[in-house]
Amino acid sequence: MDYIPSDVTQHSEFIKKYPKYDGRDLLIAIIDDGIDICLPGMQQTSTGIPKILDCFDFTGTANVDTSTIKEADENNFIVGLSGRSLKVC
């Protein structure tokens, strides 16, 4: 199954021109709570090595308390828990 919309992104043309530009020799750390490591497309790279080297489930670990509601001041700033002023855009 192809997970990249090749027509829209012109992925097929790019790979024809640069066949080795497929992410090989790169190591990327992803911190995400929505990755499904069981998907077939997540198993191996184009050169046959494992795509996922390690996986940790941080579900529920250090959840951020979002129950406090703060109003921005007239200049669109709020004061965060650290005491720093944060600009709300």
pLDDT for residue 85 is more than 80: yes
What are the tens digits of pLDDT across the range 28-78? Answer: 777 766 778 888 888 888 888 888 888 777 776 667 777 888 899 999 999
For residues 40 and 36, give the distance between their C-alpha atoms in angstroms, rounded to a whole number. 10
Residue 62: its pLDDT value, please? 67
**pLDDT at residue 73, as a whole number:** 94
Q: Is the pLDDT confidence value at 1 over 60?
A: no
Here the tokens at position 87 are 């600009």
The pLDDT assigned to 40 comes to: 85
Query: What is the pTM assigned to this prediction?
Result: 0.37
